[in-house]
Amino acid sequence: MPNLKNNRKLALLFILLSIAWIIMLFAESSQPPAKIMGEISGLDKVAHFVAFGVLALLLCAASFSLNGKPGIPLLSAPFLITALSGIIEEGYQMTVPGRAGSLEDLMADVSGAMLAVLVVNRLAGRWFGQNA
């Protein structure tokens, strides 16, 4: 079993990566959408799903590094922070000319976060062992 409990340096690294990822998401939201997003049906939703799934993975890694528990509840800080970031990002997009926030995009954001937490829990059960 890996020794992740109370690894504050590793947690700080994942927190900084999460912040950088959020900044990148908002910077991307400040620009007009990439041309390819309009050319391929559904690609925008996939991009939202993946982007917010990555954010949830980074936050889950920070959580594991701080507490070392072999599981993260679905309604935990990583999921809630990711969902809140999605809500704020969609609201922000409504203020950017040429962009629009949408409920479908928000659902893709939340779904990506939810799947990431579920996958992390599944992998953590194997990584830490069933009785950890």
pLDDT tier at 80, thresholds 50, 70, 90: very high
**pLDDT value, residue 126:** 65
Q: How far apart are CA 109 and CA 107, in angstroms?
A: 5
- Cα torsion 44, 45, 51, 52 to 10°: value is 150
**Amino acid type, 40:** I
Q: How far apart are CA 106 and CA 3, in angstroms?
A: 35
**Under 8 Å between Cβ of 66 and 11:** yes
pLDDT tier at 132, thresholds 50, 70, 90: very low
Q: How far apart are CA 105 and CA 60, in angstroms?
A: 22
**Quick check: helix, strand or coil at residue 40?**
coil
pLDDT tier at 20, thresholds 50, 70, 90: very high
How do the domains of the chain map onto residue ranges? 8-128
**pLDDT value, residue 45:** 92
**pLDDT value, residue 72:** 76
pLDDT tier at 70, thresholds 50, 70, 90: low
Distance linking the first and last C-alpha atoms of the chain:
8
DSSP letters along 55-100, please? HHHHHHHHHHHHH--S---TTSHHHHHHHHHHHHHHHHHTTSTT--
List C-alpha distances in Å: 21 to 14, 35, 125. Answer: 10, 22, 26
Q: Which pair of tokens denotes residue 94? A: 């409504």
Q: What is the pLDDT of residues 23-68, one digit of tens each?
A: 999 999 888 887 888 788 889 899 999 999 999 999 998 988 888 7
Task: Give yes or no for residue 110 having a pLDDT over 80.
Answer: yes
